Amino acid sequence: MTIAEQKKLTAEMEQQFQQQTIPEWTEIEELTEIKIDVPKMHAEDRARKLSFLKSVELYKQLDAEIEEREKLKKILKEQLQAAMIVSGKDKVRCGDYMPTMVNKAGTKKIVPELLLAQGVDAMVIAKATEVGKSSTYLMINPIKDKDK
């Protein structure tokens, strides 16, 4: 299968997926009956069981909190890295920690478009291309106006 055929098939599959009717969670018996165990996060918390809806809402709330903390973490890391560069040291002792500057070389990858530009046949590229392992995961996004 050529790259163009793969792109066309992917586009068709995405279009079919978007045209599917997405049911409301309250219409699915397995989702309305389930109570999800939420463990204690702090000593003063209590373990609890939440509905599917409340679990999704809690997940998104936690995700937003993590995102904000990740932004702060990035800012701190950049400032710490700048301080290390100014100091001229690759490693320092700092309490129970050892901040260390790490230089990592970039990884190499093969770009099909560049091979095509160099005259490599598209079928040769397609035959030499392996598809990585697939994965299944949960993604929770807000509903867009067009999906309501």
Q: What does the alpha-carbon distance between residue 146 and residue 60 come to, in Å, rounded to a whole number? A: 21
Number of domains in the chain: 1
- Asked if residue 1 belongs to a domain, the reply is no
66 domain-assigned: yes
In this prediction, residue 78 carries a pLDDT of: 93
Where in the sequence is the domain holding 38, given as residue range(s)?
26-126
DSSP per-residue codes, the chain: --HHHHHHHHHHHHHHHHHSPPPPGGG-HHHHH--EEE--SSTT---EEE-HHHHHHHHHHHHHHHHHHHHHHHHHHHHHHHHHHHHT-SB--BTTB--B----PPPP---HHHHHHTT--HHHHHHT--PPPP-------PPPGGG-
Question: How confident is the prediction along the chain (148 residues), in pLDDT tens digits per residue?
Answer: 788 888 888 888 887 777 777 889 999 999 999 999 988 877 777 778 999 999 999 999 999 999 999 999 999 999 999 999 999 999 998 888 999 998 888 888 889 999 999 999 999 998 888 888 888 777 777 777 665 5
19 located within any domain: no
78: in domain: yes
Q: Is residue 5 situated within a structural domain?
A: no
Distance CA 129, CA 107 (A): 18
Whether the model clears a pTM of 0.85, i.e. scores above it, the answer is no
10 occurs within a structural domain: no
pLDDT value at position 147? 52
Residues 6 or more apart whose CB falls under 8 angstroms from that of 107 comprise none
Within a domain: 81: yes
- Residue 143's pLDDT is 77
Examine residue 9 and state whether it is found in any structural domain, yes or no.
no
pLDDT digits (tens, 9 = 90+) for 43-86: 777 778 999 999 999 999 999 999 999 999 999 999 999 999 99
